[in-house]
């Protein structure tokens, strides 16, 4: 990865959401631009989010959980997470990320997977281009 992190802007996130809605259907629009602005600004803080993985995790978690957009928040969180990976030279794992996150994000929204476990999952995907056996064990031990 580059030393410098390329961050997303609200306009880029809204355009990504609109592309997704056009493709799969749903309602266009943002619920609260302030939440999106705050999130995108907050992940730049290296004290709270010292690693790239923690920034991706917070981005995905927040968009999915806090209903930033009118519709498609779970799918949009995955698309924006993959875009963030791609613009920061992590394209090698973006397909795996997209494939794995579909069920994971649903479990995040249902409060089955915590933000800490989400970070472990995303870190595993970035480091291994898959969810490691150890992390899969943690997921399997969750009482649903």
58-75 pLDDT, tens digit per residue, is 999 999 999 999 999 999
Burial-class residue 103 by CB neighbours within 10 Å (0-12, 13-18, 19+). Answer: exposed
**Six-digit token string for 76:** 């949009």
Average pLDDT for 64-93: 96
pLDDT tens column, 1-59: 457 999 999 999 999 999 999 999 999 999 989 999 999 999 999 999 999 999 999 99
**Predicted structure pTM score:** 0.94
Is the torsion defined by CA of 135, 138, 96, 60 positive or negative?
Answer: negative
Q: Predicted confidence band at 112 (pLDDT cuts at 50, 70, 90)? A: very high
State residue 1's pLDDT score.
46
Domains of the chain, earliest start first: 10-140 (1.20.120.1870)
CB 40 within 8 A of CB 7: yes
**Six-digit token string for 45:** 């803080």
């Amino acid at each position: 990865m580059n030393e410098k992190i390329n961050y997303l802007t609200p306009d880029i996130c809204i355009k990504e959401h609109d592309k997704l809605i056009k493709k799969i259907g749903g309602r266009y629009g943002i619920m609260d631009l302030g939440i999106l602005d705050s999130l995108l600004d907050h992940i730049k803080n290296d004290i709270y989010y010292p690693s790239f993985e923690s920034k991706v995790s917070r981005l995905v978690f927040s968009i999915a959980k806090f209903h930033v957009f009118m519709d498609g928040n779970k799918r949009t969180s995955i698309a924006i997470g993959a875009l963030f990976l791609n613009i920061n030279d992590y394209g090698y794992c973006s397909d795996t990320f997209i494939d794995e996150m579909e069920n994971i994000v649903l479990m995040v929204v249902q409060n089955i997977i915590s933000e800490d476990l989400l970070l472990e999952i995303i870190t595993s995907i970035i480091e291994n281009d898959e969810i490691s056996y150890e992390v899969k064990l943690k997921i399997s031990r969750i009482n649903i």
